Amino acid sequence: MRILNLGTHDITIELRNQGHIIVPELSESVDSVVCNIDTYKLAPDGLPMFVLLTGGNKMMIWRVQKDYPEAHCYMDTKELINELTAKVYEVDIAELPINKQDSLIVTSYANKGGVGKTTTALSIATVVAEQGAKTVIVDMDYGGANLATFYNINREFINYIADTSLLDKALFKVQGNLYLLPSPTDIVPNSIEPNNIYKILMALKAKFQVIVCDTPPSPWDKKYIHPVYANSDIVYAVVKQEKFSIAEVKTYSPQLMAMGTDRDRMRIVLNAYNPKLISLQQIEAALNANLKL
């Protein structure tokens, strides 16, 4: 949750430890405001307000609640933090209406195999699901799929590629809000129609808030995977530093552009990063080297 902190700086670290983002001034995406008896009148309207009444001054509660009947008042820091944190989880995510426009597609990219695409996809999917988003991780490494093995699911997997009505049967709930769409068992990667992949993505958008796509190496050679890059909100290129080459990263942005990922959507994940080997600036410069405005 993004919290506007008005003068209660002593609890900032504890709020951060609970996974909240603390912002010092009002921005569009603030979810709640935490303030004290001196600052509550500065709180913007329309946001849930959590007021810390330190110094044992219980009498102040009536004053705050007279001005702001909806305010939540606490004498105790821990109680405030716990209740505020509980609010993040109180919505039943399964019941959330999904707005197609709000769904986010996050996709891995690398030309090399074994650099950490799947590991990073799993990390991202796990974390966003734990934060409360209804999430699916899609094994699109057709031909080299390994996500089902990660979750110890060993069986035949339905071929949903040409028929999105089979998706519900093909999905596995692996934990909490996190679902897995394994690669079909009988898949022949080069027979996949790009348009079918597009339809699958759109069908998943109607069901999930976050769609994490794990992809095969060298996606440029695999036409069927290109619609994923064209329709992703974020594409993260995974670079394993021990195999790192500036020349290789320079090819990433033109290839991603050619597949339909524009520069604003490109990111780099440095796996096994070692600051002694190369600077982040050099890597960023390499990614940008072949991008023209």
| 111 to 150: interface string for ligand ATP, x by CB under 6 A | --xxxxxxx---------------------x--x------
Does 194 bind ligand ATP (CB under 6 A)? Our answer is no
Task: Give least dist CB 222 to ligand ATP, A.
Answer: 12
Q: How far is the CB of 240 from ligand ATP (least distance, A)?
A: 7
In 3D space, the residue among 292, 118, 86, 126 whose CA is nearest the CA of residue 215 turns out to be 118
3-state class (DSSP) for residue 242: helix
Instruction: Output 5 or 215, the one with its CB closest to ligand ATP.
Output: 215
Cα(31)–Cα(35) distance, rounded to whole angstroms? 14
Closest distance of CB 114 from ligand ATP, Å: 4
Q: How far is the CB of 141 from Mg ion (least distance, A)?
A: 5
Draw the binding track, 196-235, toward ligand ATP (x: CB under 6 A; -: no contact).
---------------------x------------------
Give φ, ψ of 72 to 5 degrees: -100, 120
Q: Which amino acid is at 268?
A: I
Instruction: Decide if 93 contacts 134 (C-beta within 8 A).
Output: yes
Q: Considering only residues 117, 134, 205, 226, which one is a binding residue for Mg ion as defined by CB under 5 A?
A: 117
Where helices occur in the chain by DSSP H, the ranges are 12-17, 60-67, 77-89, 117-130, 147-150, 167-170, 194-205, 226-231, 246-259, 280-288
The binding site for Mg ion (CB under 5 A) comprises: 117-118
